Structure 1
Amino acid sequence: MTNNVFFDYFAFSSKIDSPYSLIQLLNLNEENWLNSKGFHGYRQQLYCGGIHIHFDGQDNMGVCLEMSGSGCRMFEDNGGNFIDLIRYCLDNKDEINITRIDVSYDDFTGCLDLYQIESDIVAGNYRSRFRAFPIERIHSKSIDKRTFTIYCGSKQSEIMFRIYDKKAEQKADCAHWVRFEIQLRRERAEVFAGLCIENSINSLFRGVIVNYLTIVENNESDSNISRAVIKPYWLKFLDDVSAVKLTKQADDYTTSNLQRFVERQLPSALVAYIALFGFDEFLELLNRRSRVKLNVRHQSLLDKAKLDVIGNFDSLVVL
């Protein structure tokens, strides 16, 4: 077994697909799927080998595809290519929303020592964008069943690292097996997917880690952690790659993004506001808000369109 980086979870929602068009997209046989109760607000789902296709929700929900680790392997074993799947999602990004991507690294050679990583984190020998490092332990009378998982960041955030003893979890017959997982949601998943089109998943995986976590040597004579030397085992693991940021630039935000947000997130609140306070008050609210400093993404859209929002709402007429 060799160390490798791979997709370990992939999920998106689509308003242009049906359950059966997704099965065809994944190049899978339509006959092997089981129908059962759905999740995430959907009434039904089709399930096969770690792949879930949720459907029969509200009119604007479309369908939802989820592939666990085993589902990702089945997809690839049947000739599926994640880069092609990502291209399909991004080519239809106004109707398809990538919600989660997990990318994992399996270490079989001993490069990552779970106890050493824990020791360095507890000792504060790191630079990181994460504020918390929860550690979950599994206790057992059998020594070989005792293990723990290091979480970097919050489970509710858009990015989280998970490091654990895969050998103990799987009771595998091998000398060493530590898994390092990056879990990405929403915007972080979408940005990572876009970067996958022109970059290798290996370099992206390590680049994201460089941007969020670096294990360093303890230097009691210098309190400035930014000058600390990277520990040799961490440097070997990351292979001297450059940091990869997973934030959208203002130029990436388009009128389609704005329209999609308003159509999906605001209608209910707007209807209730107008019903309670009247349309004149709504127009007055717009005029008041137009005079405050706009979000940089929204201001960028107005600048491109050469529009000045101040005062533009006074002429609105209700038909």
Structure 2
Amino acid sequence: MQSDVPNNEKLDAELGTPPYSNRGAQNTEAHALRALVDWVSCTFTTVQDAHEIITLLDLPKDKFQEHENGKFGYKSHLRFGHIAIYFDGPIDAGVFLDISGQGCREYEAFGAKTWSQLFSDILPMKYNFTRLDVAVDDFKGALSVPTLKRKVREGAVRSRFKTSMEVRKTKVSDGSSTGETLYFGSAQSRIQIRFYDKLLEQVSKNKKLNEDVDHWTRVEVQLRKEHANAVALII
């Protein structure tokens, strides 16, 4: 049985992944707000051959390796980096495509289709998006997590969400902060919104950053079920 853990360093070298910067994708202007697709999970109930999904993605089939393990009731999967296609599941389960946030960046670096093109090709199929995350990266300073938290405490927020939650991660060794996140909605709900200091997170992980990055707040909207399908149609 082959390992389910991808060789990230080898993959990054192969993909030519750019360093983290406020340009991100190569065609993004400096100091701009950047919109992202940040997670895609979709079931194709009428597809039986997982290789059809590789064709749909317009990725080289020889990049995918087959693994004799799976999840969500599927027994096996094909994997390229953080892009996984699960198959051999229950009757009428079809195949399941799961692209993590890092996998989305890998797809953008290696795939020939835009997200709009991919979703347009999915629409004629029998599909169901079980999760779809979209995000905005702010490098301009329009959003600040401390300011957002203060606004919540001041009662200056109007939302359908009844409560919010603040999480701060701290290094035990020296007490330094490695990140802070403001949550609206739970991880199990059909909509969750997260605001966090992406710059602090990347620095704490010793990620390579361009010198011009001095602010990086990320807003992530995690959507499930009917909300995921609705946003896929919009995209």
- TM-score for both structures, normalised by structure 2: 0.77
Q: Which runs of 5+ in 1 are unaligned?
A: 197-319
Query: Any conservation in 2 of the 1:14–1:97 contact (CA below 8 Å)?
Result: yes
Q: Which residue of 2 aligns with 1:4?
A: 34
Query: Any conservation in 2 of the 1:3–1:105 contact (CA below 8 Å)?
Result: yes
Q: Tell me which stretches of 4 or more aligned residues in structure 1 moved more than 3 Å.
A: 141-146
Q: Which residue of 2 aligns with 1:179?
A: 218
Q: Percent identity?
A: 34
The CA distance in 1 between the partners of 2:177 and 2:166, in whole Å, is: 16
Q: Which runs of 5+ in 2 are unaligned?
A: 1-21, 23-31
Query: Any conservation in 2 of the 1:132–1:154 contact (CA below 8 Å)?
Result: no
What is the CA deviation profile of residues 254-310 of structure 1, one whole-angstrom value per residue up to 9, with x for unaligned ones? xxxxxxxxxxxxxxxxxxxxxxxxxxxxxxxxxxxxxxxxxxxxxxxxxxxxxxxxx
The CA distance in 2 between the partners of 1:71 and 1:146, in whole Å, is: 23
| 1:89-128 equivalent positions in 2, closer than 5 A | 89-92=122-125, 95-128=126-159
The CA distance in 2 between the partners of 1:79 and 1:89, in whole Å, is: 15
The CA distance in 1 between the partners of 2:155 and 2:174, in whole Å, is: 30
The residue type equivalent to 2:214 in the other structure is A
* Per-residue deviation, 1:58: 0.6
Comparing 187-196 and 50-59, the one that deviates more: 187-196
The CA distance in 1 between the partners of 2:174 and 2:56, in whole Å, is: 46
The CA distance in 1 between the partners of 2:215 and 2:74, in whole Å, is: 41
The CA distance in 2 between the partners of 1:34 and 1:144, in whole Å, is: 40
* Per-residue deviation, 1:105: 0.6
| 1:24-173 equivalent positions in 2, closer than 5 A | 24-36=55-67, 37-77=69-109, 78-92=111-125, 95-140=126-171, 142=174, 145-171=177-203, 172=207, 173=209
Q: Secondary structure at the match of 1:59?
A: coil
Query: Any conservation in 2 of the 1:15–1:62 contact (CA below 8 Å)?
Result: yes
The residue type equivalent to 2:61 in the other structure is E
* Per-residue deviation, 1:88: 2.6
The CA distance in 2 between the partners of 1:195 and 1:31, in whole Å, is: 32
Query: Any conservation in 1 of the 2:168–2:177 contact (CA below 8 Å)?
Result: no
- Bigger fraction of residues in strand: 2
Q: Which residue of 1 aligns with 2:26?
A: none
Number of aligned residues: 194
Q: Secondary structure at the match of 2:118?
A: helix
Larger radius of gyration: 1
Greater RCO (Cα-Cα under 8 Å, separation 6 or more): 2
The residue type equivalent to 2:35 in the other structure is V
- Bigger fraction of residues in helix: 1
The CA distance in 1 between the partners of 2:93 and 2:185, in whole Å, is: 30
The CA distance in 1 between the partners of 2:58 and 2:106, in whole Å, is: 10
* Per-residue deviation, 1:142: 4.6
The CA distance in 1 between the partners of 2:108 and 2:170, in whole Å, is: 36
Q: In 2 relative to 1, CA 32–4 (structure 1 residues): closer, same or farther, beyond 3 Å?
A: same
Q: RMSD across aligned C-alpha pairs, in angstroms? A: 1.6
Q: Secondary structure at the match of 2:123?
A: helix
- TM-score for both structures, normalised by structure 1: 0.58
